[in-house]
């Protein structure tokens, strides 16, 4: 209620405004009181770091850089601690696994090395045609009832390879009690004339055996390897190895023309002046070097056919590409 009006106009007006001001004052006090009450109630519902705006009755969140930085640091600290804790746990688990694994392996090794279950009862040898099985087993130095894990494979292989005929060896343990030995042998291909004896060699020039018999192998005359080096297990010297490569090429050409059974010997005394002795034909073939062998052998075959009944020398040791004509010189009785 704004007050009473009086008949006097001015007084009525003055009283009116006075009453109106009084009412506004009372309303203002009442509103402030209600606002304070609301502020108090709202402040009870917000965090300590929040602030209530009394003028607008709104909550202002503290989102400044310092608070965000603090929150980030706290989060990182917790994350690092968690990562560190997890790493520590993981490391402990890993160590425990290693210890457990070592214990298992140690126990297994101890059992394998001591249990009669793993004693050798059978030694198998394969791949041998020249060297006997008993010889291979003897060279290996393996013994039955020996623990299968106690022998050294590398040493055993070296022991077996002491035999010149044995080129390579592989050894497999077949658990629980079998040892399998597989060997690759060197094949004697030529006999080298040596101090009235014969040294068997393979195609790589390894000396395999000294014998009184040529073993019906093509005989190589004229090697330059020193006599004291012609020992089983050794190899021909470099000069003879080069000549041996030529011999192999020549013999391949001989085989292609089905004459391998005719060649008794090959003379390599002079490089590039090789000669073949065809004993059954009673002829000697002067090959020269190892070039143009296919054509040379065609001429040899043709001359052999033409001079079947005659002994003598066949010359194909010239340059066929430079007008050289192979010829036959009959032996004079």
Are residue 176 and residue 199 in the same domain, yes or no?
Answer: no
Tens place of pLDDT for every residue, the chain, 333 residues? 444 444 444 444 444 444 545 555 666 667 667 766 666 655 555 444 444 444 444 444 444 566 677 777 777 776 777 777 777 888 888 888 888 888 888 777 766 666 778 899 999 999 999 999 999 999 999 999 999 988 999 999 999 999 999 999 999 999 999 999 999 999 999 999 989 999 999 999 999 999 999 999 999 999 999 999 999 999 999 999 999 999 999 999 999 999 988 999 999 999 999 999 998 889 999 999 999 999 999 999 999 999 988 999 999 999 988 889 999 999 886
Q: What is the CATH number of the domain that holds 266?
A: 3.40.50
257 and 209 belong to one structural domain: yes
Residues 260 and 322 in one domain: yes
Give a yes or no: residue 56 inside a domain: no
> 49 by DSSP, 3-state: which?
coil
Q: Is 209 in the same domain as 163?
A: no
Overall number of domains in the chain? 3
pLDDT for position 36: 67
Q: Is 213 within the bounds of a domain?
A: yes
Domain extent at residue 324: 190-330
* pLDDT of 56: 46
Among 185, 212, 234, give the residue marking a domain's end. 185
User: Distance between CA 94 and CA 293 in Å, rounded?
Assistant: 70
281 Cα distance to chain centroid: 55
CATH code: domain of residue 171: 3.10.20.310
Between the CA of residue 42 and those of 35, 52, 178, 310, what are the distances in Å?
10, 8, 90, 136
In a shared domain, residues 245 and 222: yes
| Residue 44 pLDDT | 56
Q: According to the model, what pLDDT value does residue 9 have? A: 45
Q: Residue 214: inside a domain, yes or no?
A: yes
Q: Are residues 214 and 163 in the same domain?
A: no
Indicate if 178 and 216 belong to the same structural domain.
Answer: no
Q: What angle do CA 31, 36, 42 make, to 5 degrees?
A: 125
């Amino acid at each position: 209620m704004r007050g009473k009006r009086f008949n006097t106009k001015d007084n009525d007006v003055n009283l009116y405004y006075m009453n109106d001001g009084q009412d506004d004052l009372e309303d203002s006090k009442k509103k402030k009181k209600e606002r304070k009450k609301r502020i108090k109630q709202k402040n009870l519902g917000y965090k300590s770091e929040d602030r209530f705006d009394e003028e607008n009755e709104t909550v202002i969140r503290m989102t400044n850089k310092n608070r965000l930085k603090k929150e980030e640091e706290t989060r990182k600290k917790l994350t690092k601690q968690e990562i560190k804790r997890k790493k520590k746990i993981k490391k402990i688990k890993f160590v425990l696994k290693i210890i457990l694994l070592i214990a298992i392996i140690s126990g297994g090794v101890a059992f394998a090395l001591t249990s009669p279950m793993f004693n050798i009862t059978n030694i198998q040898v394969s791949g041998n045609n020249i060297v006997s099985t008993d010889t291979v087993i003897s060279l290996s130095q393996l013994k039955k009832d020996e623990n299968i894990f106690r022998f050294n494979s590398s040493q055993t292989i070296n022991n077996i390879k002491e035999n010149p005929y044995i080129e390579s060896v592989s050894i497999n343990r077949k658990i629980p009690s079998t040892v399998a030995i597989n060997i690759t042998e060197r094949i004697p291909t030529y006999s080298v004339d040596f101090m009235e004896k014969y040294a068997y060699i393979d195609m790589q020039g390894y000396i395999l055996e000294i014998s009184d018999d040529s073993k019906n192998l093509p005989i190589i005359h004229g090697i330059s390897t020193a006599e004291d080096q012609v020992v089983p297990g050794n190899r021909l010297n470099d000069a003879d190895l080069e000549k041996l490569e030529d011999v192999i090429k020549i013999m391949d050409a001989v085989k292609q023309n089905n004459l391998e059974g005719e060649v008794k010997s090959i003379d390599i005394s002079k490089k590039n002046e090789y000669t073949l002795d065809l004993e059954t034909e009673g002829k000697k073939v002067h090959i020269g070097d190892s070039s143009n062998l296919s054509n040379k052998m065609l001429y040899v075959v043709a001359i052999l056919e033409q001079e079947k009944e005659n002994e003598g020398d066949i010359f194909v040791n010239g340059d066929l590409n430079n007008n050289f004509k192979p010829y036959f010189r009959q032996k004079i009785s």
